[in-house]
Amino acid sequence: NTGGEGSKHGIWHEAVPDVLQRAEWAGLSVTGLHMHIGSGADLDHLATVAESLEKTAHDIGRSLTTISAGGGLPVPYQKDELRADLSEYFKLWDATRKRLEDSFGHQIRLEIEPGRYLTAEAGILVTEVRAVKRQGSKKYLLVDAGFHTLARPVLYGSYHPMSLCPTSTTPPHELEAVAIGGPLCESGDIFTQEEGGFVSTRDLPPARVGDLLVIEVAGAYGFVMASNYNSKPFPAEVLIDGGTSRLVRARQTAEELFSGESLPQE
């Protein structure tokens, strides 16, 4: 959790007076106030957060020049999740900024963290079905991507929409419940899992080896969290602009994978 008294992040609000006193002793002026509350779309909760930030800003005083609405803007991964109302989001934070300007008599800059909002829905992960198997009560599709490629499901139990691209023009079939797993030697290498590591399923058309599975809303916290676990190379990245596609990052080769390693000289 990025917030709360037990989090490793930031300064708990009750400690702010002590921090300000320490800054004064060191001859430092506190000029910025950052608050990180996650990426929720609940404006009522956001209003409470903005009110708390405004109160802390007054505790800091006129040295303050910047407020930062940390936590980013939410992106809906599931159909029932709310999409951020950008107009209301801006109105709320800008009103806070203006009140602080009136109180302090100088300009206050507002910063936001729009990263995931800009990139998440712009990226998809395309992976190939390498095996179809039944294990116990579940049917599995095993693909060539894993948590070395997209770590969010294993880290947070994150949900990503998925669709299947068959390699042959087969007639449509009824959907079936399948679990999606990767190639790594870890039981947690599952794309269809809930928080806590519980394996769930998705309803997809019957798949064959060689079909392509598309994992959607994968443009944020994807490549930047990728690894070479199990000596797996980084995937290629392709930019699609309208009807044009262009390779913007080449697939990592085996030579590149081991290029940074060296053995001691005898």
Check: CB of residue 39 under 8 Å from CB of residue 71: yes
Greatest alpha-carbon pair distance for the chain in Å reads 75
Distance CA 226, CA 150 (A): 6
For residue 183, CA distances in Å to 40, 144, 150, 180, 239 come to: 33, 6, 13, 10, 26
Catalytic residues: 185
Residue 87 has phi, psi (to 5 degrees) of: -65, -45
CA dist., res. 197 & res. 154, Å (int): 7
Question: How far is it, in rounded angstroms, from Cα 26 to Cα 11?
Answer: 18
User: How far are the Cα atoms of 51, 52, 128, 253 from residue 228, in angstroms, in the given order?
Assistant: 44, 42, 18, 11
Alpha-carbon distance of 150 to 173, in angstroms, equals 29
In sequence order, what are the beta bridge partners of 128? 212
